[in-house]
Amino acid sequence: MKTAIYPGSFDPVTNGHLDIIRRASTMFDKLIVVVLINPLKNYSFSIPERVALLTKVTEGMRNIEIASYDGLLADYFKQRADIDVIVKGLRATSDFEYEFQMAHTNKDLNPRAETVFIPASANTTFISSSMVKQVAMFGGDLSKYVPAVIHEEISVKLTGEFEEKRRAAAKKRGEI
């Protein structure tokens, strides 16, 4: 039995991530999608929120497990003897250098941690979580970028967050 792990921030999960999840889940007996933290990023969604969104969009996919971990991917890999390989998506050559560094760092930290790359499907190569968040903050149409079952949750959360930021900025300028 071959088990792969697909790590990421998933802030929030997009159709691009779902493309990789679907395709990887047909290549391995089991796929663990794990929400991790990049300490250099500011997140809009909490870990439980990101896990809940991933759980919703993968409902009905039988060999998927959703998990989260507050630590190094290499350590999570060490703790779970059932994991064979790390899967990452590559959208463009611009992803390559960062992903290459991460793959080598993970292998350096845990020699058992090999990474395989899956090329993103052509129609998802331009999607990113930041792009989705910007569109959502301005109330734009998310239907091509995010699974329909989570549109509303994402829109409500991000328009609310953006409104708060606008209000705080106006207050700072003394306008309210």
Which residues are at the interface with ligand COA (CB under 6 A)?
7-9, 11, 14, 16-17, 20, 36-38, 41, 72-74, 89, 91, 102, 105-106, 120, 124, 127-130
Q: Give the nearest residue (CB) to ligand COA.
A: 16
Report helix, strand or coil for 92: coil
Report helix, strand or coil for 76: helix
Comparison of 126 and 171: residue with beta carbon closer to ligand COA: 126
130 included as an active-site residue: no
Q: What is the largest CA-CA distance in the chain?
A: 62
68 included as an active-site residue: no
Query: What's the closest the beta carbon of residue 155 comes to ligand COA, in angstroms?
Result: 17
Cα distance between residue 91 and residue 126, in whole Å: 7
91 included as an active-site residue: yes
129 included as an active-site residue: yes
> From edge to edge, which strands make up the β-sheet containing 115-119?
64-68, 30-35, 3-8, 85-90, 115-119
**Which of 2, 41, 112, 167 is an active site residue?**
41
Active site residues: 17, 41, 91, 129
